[in-house]
Amino acid sequence: MNEDYTPTELLAYVAAGLLEDGKSVFVGTGLPMIAAMLAQRTHAPNLLIIFEAGGIGPQVPVLPISVGDSRTFYRAVAASSMHEVMSAGQAGYVDYGFLGAAQIDPYGNLNTTVIGEWDHPLVRLPGSGGANDIGSFCWRTIIVMRQDKRRFVEHLDFLTTPGYLDGPGARERAGLPAGSGPYRVITQLGLYDFDEDSKRMRLLATHPGVTVDDICANSAFELIIPDQVGTTEPPSPQVRRILREIDPTGMVIGK
Protein backbone atom coordinates (compact mmCIF):
# COMPACT_ATOMS: atom_id res chain seq x y z
CA MET A 1 0.00 0.00 0.00
CA ASN A 2 1.26 3.47 -0.92
CA GLU A 3 1.43 5.78 2.10
CA ASP A 4 -0.64 8.38 0.23
CA TYR A 5 -3.65 6.22 -0.66
CA THR A 6 -5.22 2.87 0.12
CA PRO A 7 -5.77 0.03 -2.37
CA THR A 8 -9.54 0.55 -2.12
CA GLU A 9 -9.18 4.25 -2.93
CA LEU A 10 -7.13 3.33 -5.99
CA LEU A 11 -9.72 0.80 -7.19
CA ALA A 12 -12.55 3.29 -6.69
CA TYR A 13 -10.66 5.96 -8.62
CA VAL A 14 -9.80 3.65 -11.52
CA ALA A 15 -13.40 2.39 -11.69
CA ALA A 16 -14.82 5.91 -11.61
CA GLY A 17 -12.61 6.94 -14.51
CA LEU A 18 -14.30 4.37 -16.75
CA LEU A 19 -17.72 6.00 -16.41
CA GLU A 20 -18.64 8.70 -18.93
CA ASP A 21 -20.77 11.79 -18.50
CA GLY A 22 -24.30 11.42 -19.84
CA LYS A 23 -24.27 7.62 -19.59
CA SER A 24 -26.23 5.27 -17.29
CA VAL A 25 -24.78 2.76 -14.85
CA PHE A 26 -26.33 -0.10 -12.87
CA VAL A 27 -24.70 0.01 -9.44
CA GLY A 28 -24.40 -2.56 -6.65
CA THR A 29 -23.47 -2.26 -3.00
CA GLY A 30 -20.00 -1.16 -1.89
CA LEU A 31 -17.18 -0.17 -4.21
CA PRO A 32 -19.39 0.26 -7.33
CA MET A 33 -21.50 2.79 -5.40
CA ILE A 34 -18.41 4.74 -4.40
CA ALA A 35 -17.04 4.68 -7.96
CA ALA A 36 -20.32 5.95 -9.44
CA MET A 37 -20.69 8.66 -6.79
CA LEU A 38 -17.08 9.76 -7.33
CA ALA A 39 -17.60 9.97 -11.10
CA GLN A 40 -20.79 11.99 -10.61
CA ARG A 41 -18.97 14.44 -8.31
CA THR A 42 -16.00 14.91 -10.62
CA HIS A 43 -15.94 14.38 -14.39
CA ALA A 44 -19.42 12.94 -14.98
CA PRO A 45 -22.04 15.16 -13.28
CA ASN A 46 -24.76 13.89 -15.63
CA LEU A 47 -24.09 10.21 -14.95
CA LEU A 48 -27.44 8.44 -14.40
CA ILE A 49 -27.03 6.06 -11.45
CA ILE A 50 -29.48 3.15 -11.25
CA PHE A 51 -29.96 0.97 -8.17
CA GLU A 52 -31.41 -2.53 -8.17
CA ALA A 53 -34.12 -1.62 -5.63
CA GLY A 54 -35.54 1.02 -7.98
CA GLY A 55 -33.73 4.31 -7.42
CA ILE A 56 -33.06 6.02 -10.77
CA GLY A 57 -30.91 9.11 -11.12
CA PRO A 58 -30.36 10.01 -7.45
CA GLN A 59 -27.88 12.54 -6.09
CA VAL A 60 -26.72 10.31 -3.23
CA PRO A 61 -25.49 12.39 -0.25
CA VAL A 62 -23.30 9.75 1.45
CA LEU A 63 -22.58 6.08 0.88
CA PRO A 64 -25.74 3.94 1.34
CA ILE A 65 -25.54 0.71 3.31
CA SER A 66 -27.16 -1.23 0.46
CA VAL A 67 -29.07 -0.80 -2.79
CA GLY A 68 -32.29 -0.71 -0.73
CA ASP A 69 -31.16 2.14 1.54
CA SER A 70 -33.52 5.14 1.38
CA ARG A 71 -30.57 7.34 0.37
CA THR A 72 -30.50 5.60 -3.02
CA PHE A 73 -33.71 7.56 -3.79
CA TYR A 74 -32.40 10.98 -2.66
CA ARG A 75 -33.34 13.60 -5.28
CA ALA A 76 -33.90 10.76 -7.76
CA VAL A 77 -35.73 11.25 -11.02
CA ALA A 78 -37.74 8.10 -10.21
CA ALA A 79 -38.45 5.83 -7.27
CA SER A 80 -39.44 2.75 -9.22
CA SER A 81 -38.96 -0.97 -8.61
CA MET A 82 -36.60 -3.84 -9.28
CA HIS A 83 -38.90 -4.88 -12.12
CA GLU A 84 -38.61 -1.44 -13.74
CA VAL A 85 -34.83 -1.21 -13.59
CA MET A 86 -34.30 -4.77 -14.79
CA SER A 87 -36.71 -4.10 -17.64
CA ALA A 88 -34.72 -0.99 -18.53
CA GLY A 89 -31.62 -3.16 -18.87
CA GLN A 90 -33.44 -5.70 -21.01
CA ALA A 91 -34.74 -2.89 -23.22
CA GLY A 92 -31.16 -1.68 -23.83
CA TYR A 93 -31.28 1.54 -21.79
CA VAL A 94 -28.37 0.81 -19.42
CA ASP A 95 -24.85 1.55 -20.64
CA TYR A 96 -22.71 0.16 -17.80
CA GLY A 97 -23.14 -2.47 -15.11
CA PHE A 98 -20.83 -3.33 -12.22
CA LEU A 99 -20.27 -6.96 -11.21
CA GLY A 100 -18.16 -8.90 -8.75
CA ALA A 101 -17.21 -12.57 -8.95
CA ALA A 102 -15.60 -15.50 -7.17
CA GLN A 103 -14.18 -16.80 -10.48
CA ILE A 104 -13.59 -15.37 -13.93
CA ASP A 105 -12.32 -17.14 -17.05
CA PRO A 106 -10.40 -15.80 -20.09
CA TYR A 107 -13.64 -14.72 -21.83
CA GLY A 108 -15.05 -12.80 -18.88
CA ASN A 109 -17.58 -15.43 -17.85
CA LEU A 110 -18.31 -15.25 -14.12
CA ASN A 111 -19.09 -17.65 -11.29
CA THR A 112 -20.89 -16.49 -8.14
CA THR A 113 -22.76 -19.75 -7.50
CA VAL A 114 -20.57 -22.64 -6.34
CA ILE A 115 -16.94 -23.70 -5.93
CA GLY A 116 -16.43 -27.38 -6.65
CA GLU A 117 -18.99 -29.87 -7.92
CA TRP A 118 -22.61 -28.71 -7.97
CA ASP A 119 -23.84 -31.78 -6.08
CA HIS A 120 -20.97 -31.80 -3.58
CA PRO A 121 -19.68 -28.21 -3.37
CA LEU A 122 -16.66 -27.04 -1.46
CA VAL A 123 -18.32 -23.63 -1.10
CA ARG A 124 -21.88 -22.58 -1.83
CA LEU A 125 -21.91 -18.94 -2.96
CA PRO A 126 -24.78 -16.40 -2.99
CA GLY A 127 -25.79 -17.11 -6.58
CA SER A 128 -26.74 -14.73 -9.33
CA GLY A 129 -29.03 -12.16 -7.77
CA GLY A 130 -29.23 -9.64 -10.59
CA ALA A 131 -25.77 -10.46 -11.95
CA ASN A 132 -26.94 -12.59 -14.87
CA ASP A 133 -29.38 -9.86 -15.95
CA ILE A 134 -26.71 -7.17 -15.71
CA GLY A 135 -24.10 -9.23 -17.54
CA SER A 136 -26.60 -10.23 -20.22
CA PHE A 137 -28.24 -6.90 -21.01
CA CYS A 138 -26.08 -3.94 -19.96
CA TRP A 139 -24.01 -2.84 -22.93
CA ARG A 140 -20.74 -2.83 -21.01
CA THR A 141 -19.97 -4.67 -17.79
CA ILE A 142 -17.17 -3.69 -15.44
CA ILE A 143 -15.95 -6.47 -13.16
CA VAL A 144 -14.27 -5.64 -9.86
CA MET A 145 -12.70 -8.60 -8.05
CA ARG A 146 -9.62 -9.92 -6.32
CA GLN A 147 -7.05 -11.60 -8.54
CA ASP A 148 -5.23 -14.86 -7.80
CA LYS A 149 -4.95 -18.28 -9.42
CA ARG A 150 -8.06 -19.56 -7.63
CA ARG A 151 -10.15 -16.75 -9.09
CA PHE A 152 -8.60 -16.21 -12.54
CA VAL A 153 -9.28 -19.72 -13.85
CA GLU A 154 -9.20 -21.45 -17.23
CA HIS A 155 -12.59 -23.10 -16.63
CA LEU A 156 -15.32 -21.98 -14.22
CA ASP A 157 -16.79 -24.40 -11.71
CA PHE A 158 -20.20 -22.93 -12.61
CA LEU A 159 -21.30 -20.37 -15.21
CA THR A 160 -23.47 -17.80 -13.43
CA THR A 161 -23.10 -14.78 -15.71
CA PRO A 162 -22.15 -14.82 -19.40
CA GLY A 163 -19.14 -12.96 -20.65
CA TYR A 164 -18.08 -13.75 -24.19
CA LEU A 165 -18.94 -17.42 -23.50
CA ASP A 166 -16.56 -19.47 -25.71
CA GLY A 167 -15.34 -16.64 -27.91
CA PRO A 168 -16.24 -14.42 -30.87
CA GLY A 169 -19.93 -14.46 -31.83
CA ALA A 170 -20.99 -16.70 -28.95
CA ARG A 171 -23.05 -14.06 -27.15
CA GLU A 172 -24.99 -13.30 -30.30
CA ARG A 173 -25.59 -17.01 -30.97
CA ALA A 174 -26.99 -17.27 -27.44
CA GLY A 175 -29.47 -14.50 -28.21
CA LEU A 176 -27.73 -11.71 -26.29
CA PRO A 177 -27.49 -8.18 -27.73
CA ALA A 178 -24.82 -7.74 -30.39
CA GLY A 179 -22.05 -5.46 -29.19
CA SER A 180 -22.67 -6.08 -25.49
CA GLY A 181 -20.37 -7.86 -23.05
CA PRO A 182 -17.50 -7.46 -20.59
CA TYR A 183 -15.71 -4.15 -20.91
CA ARG A 184 -13.11 -3.88 -18.16
CA VAL A 185 -11.81 -5.97 -15.25
CA ILE A 186 -10.27 -4.22 -12.25
CA THR A 187 -8.30 -6.11 -9.62
CA GLN A 188 -5.85 -5.22 -6.86
CA LEU A 189 -3.08 -5.77 -9.42
CA GLY A 190 -4.22 -4.13 -12.64
CA LEU A 191 -6.74 -3.10 -15.26
CA TYR A 192 -7.82 -5.37 -18.13
CA ASP A 193 -9.94 -5.24 -21.27
CA PHE A 194 -10.81 -7.88 -23.88
CA ASP A 195 -9.15 -8.37 -27.26
CA GLU A 196 -11.48 -7.33 -30.07
CA ASP A 197 -10.76 -10.39 -32.21
CA SER A 198 -10.32 -13.29 -29.77
CA LYS A 199 -12.47 -11.85 -26.92
CA ARG A 200 -9.84 -13.04 -24.42
CA MET A 201 -8.75 -10.92 -21.47
CA ARG A 202 -5.89 -8.51 -22.11
CA LEU A 203 -3.76 -6.49 -19.71
CA LEU A 204 -4.13 -2.73 -20.14
CA ALA A 205 -2.28 -1.36 -17.11
CA THR A 206 -0.65 -2.43 -13.89
CA HIS A 207 -1.19 -0.57 -10.65
CA PRO A 208 1.81 1.36 -9.23
CA GLY A 209 4.42 -1.04 -7.88
CA VAL A 210 2.97 -4.08 -9.66
CA THR A 211 4.96 -5.85 -12.40
CA VAL A 212 3.81 -7.88 -15.38
CA ASP A 213 5.38 -10.90 -13.69
CA ASP A 214 3.11 -10.30 -10.68
CA ILE A 215 0.13 -10.21 -13.05
CA CYS A 216 1.03 -13.49 -14.76
CA ALA A 217 1.86 -15.23 -11.47
CA ASN A 218 -1.67 -14.54 -10.24
CA SER A 219 -3.60 -15.95 -13.19
CA ALA A 220 -4.23 -19.63 -13.96
CA PHE A 221 -4.85 -18.82 -17.63
CA GLU A 222 -2.66 -17.08 -20.17
CA LEU A 223 -3.43 -13.39 -20.37
CA ILE A 224 -2.76 -11.35 -23.48
CA ILE A 225 0.19 -9.10 -22.65
CA PRO A 226 0.68 -6.33 -25.23
CA ASP A 227 4.06 -4.79 -26.02
CA GLN A 228 3.07 -1.59 -24.27
CA VAL A 229 1.48 -1.84 -20.81
CA GLY A 230 0.43 1.28 -18.97
CA THR A 231 0.37 2.15 -15.27
CA THR A 232 -2.79 3.35 -13.57
CA GLU A 233 -2.78 6.84 -12.08
CA PRO A 234 -3.18 7.02 -8.30
CA PRO A 235 -5.87 9.25 -6.76
CA SER A 236 -4.93 12.84 -6.02
CA PRO A 237 -5.39 14.44 -2.58
CA GLN A 238 -8.53 16.15 -3.91
CA VAL A 239 -9.98 12.83 -5.06
CA ARG A 240 -9.15 11.25 -1.71
CA ARG A 241 -10.95 14.10 0.05
CA ILE A 242 -14.06 13.50 -2.06
CA LEU A 243 -13.88 9.77 -1.32
CA ARG A 244 -13.82 10.53 2.42
CA GLU A 245 -16.87 12.77 1.98
CA ILE A 246 -18.66 9.94 0.15
CA ASP A 247 -17.73 7.34 2.80
CA PRO A 248 -17.22 9.37 6.01
CA THR A 249 -17.44 6.33 8.32
CA GLY A 250 -14.91 4.33 6.30
CA MET A 251 -17.45 1.55 5.67
CA VAL A 252 -15.79 0.56 2.38
CA ILE A 253 -12.78 2.86 2.02
CA GLY A 254 -11.56 2.11 5.54
CA LYS A 255 -10.11 4.43 8.12
Question: What digits encode the pLDDT tens for the residues 121-176?
Answer: 999 999 998 999 999 999 999 999 999 999 999 999 999 999 999 999 999 999 99
Q: How confident is the model at residue 254 (pLDDT cuts 50, 70, 90)?
A: confident
Give residue-wise pLDDT tens across range 61-117: 999 999 889 999 999 999 999 999 999 999 999 999 999 999 999 999 999 999 999
What's the confidence (pLDDT) of residue 4? 84
In our burial notation (b when 16+ CB lie closer than 10 A, e otherwise), range 225-241 reads: eeeebeebebbeeebbe
Residue 32 has pLDDT above 70, yes or no: yes
Residue 185 has pLDDT above 90, yes or no: yes
What's the confidence (pLDDT) of residue 155? 98
What's the confidence (pLDDT) of residue 64? 95
Q: Mapping DSSP to helix (H, G, I), strand (E, B) and coil, where does residue 108 land?
A: coil
What's the confidence (pLDDT) of residue 3? 59
What's the confidence (pLDDT) of residue 206? 98
Mean pLDDT of the chain: 95
Residues 6+ apart with CB under 8 A from 122: 115, 116
CB 112 within 8 A of CB 128: yes
How far is residue 48's CA from residue 163's CA, in Å, rounded to a whole number? 24
**Domain assignments of the chain as residue spans, ordered by start:** 7-246
Catalytic residue among 3, 9, 20, 52: 52
CA distances from 122 to 24, 142, 146, 153 (A): 37, 27, 19, 16
Residues 6+ apart with CB under 8 A from 82: 52, 53, 54, 130
How far is residue 136's CA from residue 90's CA, in Å, rounded to a whole number? 8
Q: How confident is the model at residue 39 (pLDDT cuts 50, 70, 90)?
A: very high
The CATH class given to the 7-246 domain equals: alpha beta
How far is residue 253's CA from residue 169's CA, in Å, rounded to a whole number? 39
- Per cent of the chain over pLDDT 90 is 94
Query: Is 233 among the residues known to form the active site?
Result: no
What predicted TM-score, i.e. pTM, was given to this entire model?
0.94
How far is residue 142's CA from residue 41's CA, in Å, rounded to a whole number? 20
Q: How confident is the model at residue 1 (pLDDT cuts 50, 70, 90)?
A: very low
Residue 238 has pLDDT above 50, yes or no: yes
